[in-house]
Amino acid sequence: MARHFDQSLQDVKKLLLEMGARVEIAIDKAVKSLASLHVPMAQMVCSEDQKIDELELQIDDTVAKLIATQQPVAKDLRLLIAAMKIASDMERMADLAVNIAQVTIELKENNLGLFKELEDIPRMAKITQKMVHDGINSYIDGNIELAKSLAKTDDQVDQLYFAIIKELTAYLPGSNENAEVALKLCFVARYLERIADHATNIAESIVYIETGKQADLN
Amino acid sequence: MNQLAISVQDLNLYYGDKQALRKINMEIEEKSVTALIGPSGCGKSTFLRTLNRMNDLIPGVRIDGEIMIHNQNIYDDEVDVEMLRKQVGMVFQAPNPFPKSIYDNVAYGPRIHGIKNKSRLDEIVEKSLRGAALWDEVKDRLKDRATGLSGGQQQRLCIARALAVEPEILLMDEPTSALDPISTLKIEELVQELKKNYTIVIVTHNMQQAARISDKTAFFLNGDMIEYDNTDKLFSNPQNKQTEDYITGRFG
């Protein structure tokens, strides 16, 4: 039997898809703006964050109305609870992308340049973007295996993070310009690492939807 | 785990050639609320009525298997069915007060069971009406006709009437389906009060009601008990696909 509820659920999924696509773009642009010190691109990441915030509110609102009017149970209920959690995770990811974009703007404002070409940070960004992408797809398709494998990728992100921190701390002693830039890049690495953690949360939400059990995937 | 109030073993029920219940096994704890859910014709009301042998009254019904209450199979020949129905009371879908006064409705059962003493009857009537959360609303008009009460009050009167013979188990067959939301809420809250002293088994078509008021829920389909589990588990993460499809409204 086709249910009105299923249509509403599709609407929630569409909103999440749009949010996910925007978050992926935000991460991509934030890191690219940093690598090229491209301020307009960084500013775009900041200004587009508002749309992502609005999407989160829209998802919360839709879910609250569905719970109030349809009294969903079982998997229907889990899908909705997870949708709210995923939206919240994505909203945080977008904020972290803004934090990265702000580093670009600060560097430029203070006339600071990168002392070397970025390698590991863009690599980290690529992996986290893929994690976000897989997270949303696993929600849409109910693909628990994809969710679990994306959570495993978080280890790669963590390894890159520690490698970056180790490399950058070499620049920290002293108070020259390089130290200041290195410190900011450490923050960027930290932001990306947090984004990957939120992607792992999404994977855990998928396991919850499909099995009804809370999972700790990392 | 509490003591068992009811233990059902391999219960089959046939209406003539048609099997209406298939191999039902179920244990119901004392002082708990058990909800029976399922689409119309699934056997849930039939099952409820086996618990105090109300099906005995229907011609052509055949039952095998056991229903143990206090280590006694209630289908044994020596069981006194009237005593069984005193022990296992019942409240029906539509409130069905006798065309008598409020007082006489409640005193009816105790009188049948031989209580004549006026002050003893007064005591039982007050206690039962209090137990059914109706006393404050009717204490000044106990001699009024019960049929003058509102639907919700009539249903609580029927509960008081069931309580008056001091049962251990209360069976409720869709007790709120004819009531407005406020009266429904009162009955639901009353059920929560009653379970402190009674074991309650309730048939309901309102799944949210089952979710709200019961400790355990059994899902019936086509005469089979498909799933029986803690209510929060059954409604949040049912183990059976058919249960999931039913409670999420995919069929039925």
pLDDT, tens only, B236-248 = 999 999 999 999 9
Q: How far is B91 from chain A (nearest CA, A)?
A: 27
Q: What is the pLDDT of residue A218?
A: 77
Where are chain A's structural domains?
4-211
CA gap A34, A80 in Å, rounded: 36
Percentage of chain A modeled with pLDDT above 70: 99
Cβ contacts below 8 Å, chain A against chain B, sum to: 32
Residue B234's Cα: distance from chain center in Å? 21
What integer pLDDT is reported at residue A1 of this predicted model?
Answer: 53
pLDDT band at B43 (very low <50, low <70, confident <90, very high): very high
Residues 6+ apart with CB under 8 A from A125: A27, A28, A30, A31, A192
CATH number, span B4-247:
3.40.50.300
Query: Closest-CA residue in chain B for A77?
Result: B236
Q: Tell whether ipTM is more than 0.85.
A: no
Neighbours of B180 (CB within 10 A): 11
Contact between B187 and B156 (Cβ < 8 Å)? yes
Q: Does domain A4-211 have CATH number 1.20.58.220?
A: yes
pLDDT given for residue B57 in this prediction: 85
Residues B250 and B207 sit within 8 Å (Cβ to Cβ): no
The answer to whether A2 contacts chain B (CB < 8 Å) is: no
pLDDT digits (tens, 9 = 90+) for B91-106: 999 999 999 999 999 9
Cβ proximity of B88 and B168 under 8 Å: yes
Backbone angles phi, psi at B125, to 5 degrees: -65, -45
Min Cα distance A139 → chain B (Å) is: 18
Q: pLDDT tens digits, residue range B117-147?
A: 999 999 999 999 999 999 999 999 999 999 9
Closest-CA distance of chain A to residue B245, Å: 9
Chain B residues closer than 8 Å to A5 by CB: 248-249
Return the residue of B nearest to A78 by Cα: B236
Q: Tell me the chain B residues in contact with residue A3 when contact means C-beta distances shorter than 8 Å.
A: 249-250
